[in-house]
Amino acid sequence: MSQTVKGVVALSKGAPVEVVDIVIPDPGPYEVVVNIQACGVCHTDLHYRQGAIVDEFPFLLGHEAAGIVESIGNQVSQVKPGDYVVLNWRAVCGTCRACAKGQPWYCFNTHNAEQKMTLTDGTALSAALGIGAFSDKTLVHEGQCTKVDPQASPVSACLLGCGVMAGFGAAVNTAGVKRGDSVAVIGCGGVGNAAIAGAKIAGATKIIAVDIDAKKLDWAKKFGATHFINSSNQDPVETIRELTAGFGADVVIDAVGSPQTYKQAFYARDLAGVVVLVGVPNPDYKIELPLIDIFGRGGALKSSWYGDCLPARDFPMLVDLYNQGRFNLGDFVSEVIGINDVEAAFEKMEKGQVLRSVVQL
């Protein structure tokens, strides 16, 4: 028996989201229905609703979620009803060429539910990042459920499902920040601050926060930033060089994803340093750089999807750090809101008023 519940849907490009009835099928063989308890509002949800990712409307938004497994398909072996899980968008297949090479964080064939959730008229919904969790319940593949310690509150733990994991992993996994490194992070939203927190835990000694909004720089301090640049009135490249004996930072993380910030990241890193692009660019953005600089400056230009994380390895580790008071996930939560408040949360995000709004369900 399918179930009808409330969900936040983007029906057409650019239109405000609406709370509508959605139909959740019974779980197929490897599928799981999860009772969502909390789901963070990520900038990527806004990208979806603006049509900046793919054009497969209508979308069921929300992809940063924690909840309790309600029911499972007859082949499910990894979770059981009652398990407390954080949902992930990297259920690795184990057999694609990346997995076969021992690099499952690049998995090219990640699992999602096979069945579609629908509107009540039968129109198939595209679930944001294969999750769709601004809803009372959602349908996912069993591999998308990562069990974590139930002591961690869902309002905080849900953030591991996307933005916080992406930022933390961009620093720790993709850049491989080491003890003593200098790290600059451009764009101090949820993702950028998680990169700052990751750099701190990895032992970076100089952590430079860059944003165009003074309030964001203030917040970045809580996560471990040691130096601050307001790039609306200071040249970030020059200032990062000044702060690093004229050389540039070992690692620069672009958590905005614009041609302007990417160029800043490119020139603000030391020779042989690492640039990590974790912000998601709009599809029409282009960049021009002298090829001789790309060659001559050496090092690595990397992008970071989901912080190159492995959910089964990284979520429980971060939950342990959180429970031990060593990684304060709660500091990312600016407000707890209801299912009707997602559009307002997008506005607050665009105005820079929040780090993360979290929908409690």
Ligand X SMILES: NC(=O)c1ccc[n+]([C@@H]2O[C@H](COP(=O)([O-])OP(=O)(O)OC[C@H]3O[C@@H](n4cnc5c(N)ncnc54)[C@H](O)[C@@H]3O)[C@@H](O)[C@H]2O)c1
Helix intervals (H) in the chain: 43-49, 97-100, 154-157, 163-169, 190-202, 214-223, 236-243, 259-268, 291-296, 311-323, 342-350
The answer to whether 222 touches 196, Cβ cutoff 8 Å, is no
Question: Amino acid identity, residue 352?
Answer: G
Under DSSP, is residue 299 helix (H, G, I), strand (E, B) or coil? Answer: coil
Is 130 a residue that touches ligand X (CB under 6 A)? no
Is 88 a residue that touches Zn ion (CB under 5 A)? no
The answer to whether 154 touches 50, Cβ cutoff 8 Å, is no
Is 255 a residue that touches Zn ion (CB under 5 A)? no
Is 211 a residue that touches ligand X (CB under 6 A)? yes
Cα torsion angle, 127, 132, 136, 137, sign: positive
- Residue among 8, 23, 36, 99 that touches Zn ion (CB under 5 A): 99
Residue 99 touches which of Zn ion, ligand X, none (Cβ within 5-8 Å per kind)? Zn ion
Stretch that binds ligand X, among 101-109, 187-195, 239-247, 265-273 (CB under 6 A): 187-195
Distance CA 192, CA 81 (A): 35
Stretch that binds ligand X, among 132-140, 141-149, 256-264, 294-302 (CB under 6 A): 256-264
Query: What's the min distance (Å) between Cβ of 94 and Zn ion?
Result: 6
Is 93 a residue that touches Zn ion (CB under 5 A)? yes
Query: What's the min distance (Å) between Cβ of 297 and ligand X?
Result: 21
Is 263 a residue that touches ligand X (CB under 6 A)? no
Q: Are strands 269-277 and 249-254 parallel, antiparallel or unpaired?
A: parallel
DSSP structure string for 184-231: EEE--SHHHHHHHHHHHHHT-SEEEEEES-HHHHHHHHHHT--EEEET
Stretch that binds ligand X, among 14-22, 43-51, 171-179, 321-329 (CB under 6 A): 43-51
- Residue among 28, 153, 352, 353 that touches ligand X (CB under 6 A): 352
Instruction: Please tell me the count of residues contacting Zn ion according to CB under 5 A.
Output: 8
Distance CA 345, CA 13 (A): 18
Nearer Cβ to ligand X (73/190): 190
- Residue among 34, 42, 196, 207 that touches Zn ion (CB under 5 A): 42
The kind and range of the H/E element at 36 are strand 31-40
Nearer Cβ to ligand X (143/187): 187
Residue 96 touches which of ligand X, Zn ion, none (Cβ within 5-8 Å per kind)? Zn ion
Distances (CA, A) of 226 to 173, 174, 199, 223, 270: 21, 21, 11, 9, 18
Q: Which position has the token pair 């920040």?
A: 177
- Residue among 19, 20, 68, 96 that touches Zn ion (CB under 5 A): 96
- Residue among 22, 319, 349, 359 that touches ligand X (CB under 6 A): 349
Task: Map residues 131-170 to x or -, x wherever contact with Zn ion holds by CB under 5 A.
Answer: -------------------------------x--------
Distance CA 183, CA 172 (A): 11
Is 186 a residue that touches ligand X (CB under 6 A)? yes
90 contacts: CB under 8 Å, gap ≥ 6: 105, 107, 110, 306, 309, 310, 311
Residues that bind Zn ion (CB under 5 A): 42, 44, 93, 96, 99, 107, 109, 162
- Which residues of the shown chain bind ligand X in the complex (CB under 6 A)? 42-44, 47, 162-163, 166, 186-192, 210-213, 216, 231, 255-258, 260-261, 278-280, 304-306, 349, 352
